[in-house]
Amino acid sequence: MRQFEYYKAAIAFLDGDNDSAAYYLGAMAHYIGDVSQYGHSIPDEQHHSDYEGWVGNRTKSATHGIFESYLALDGLVRRTPYTAVKNGRITIQ
């Protein structure tokens, strides 16, 4: 699945569709992150969706919610996500 999202991102980027490219790369990263999360990797886990719903109800948008005060840049690179995607290179391997 991750490879499929990568190819969709690469094609969108090469077509000049940066919004879709960023979306597909985000989906790919989400899949990769999910396999390292307890709630996504333990068979018969029953309450992870409860947690996701709880967080979702408290994060109405990317900039107006409860959790944004806990987010901070790591200090390694100071750039916006848009700039990171715009300056990045995608190659089809």
Alpha-carbon distance of 26 to 69, in angstroms, equals 22
25: Cβ contacts below 8 Å, ≥ 6 apart: 5, 6, 9, 85
Alpha-carbon distance of 26 to 3, in angstroms, equals 13
pLDDT digits (tens, 9 = 90+) for 20-33: 899 888 888 888 88
DSSP 64: S
Alpha-carbon distance of 90 to 8, in angstroms, equals 11
pLDDT digits (tens, 9 = 90+) for 54-79: 877 877 665 666 666 666 555 556 66
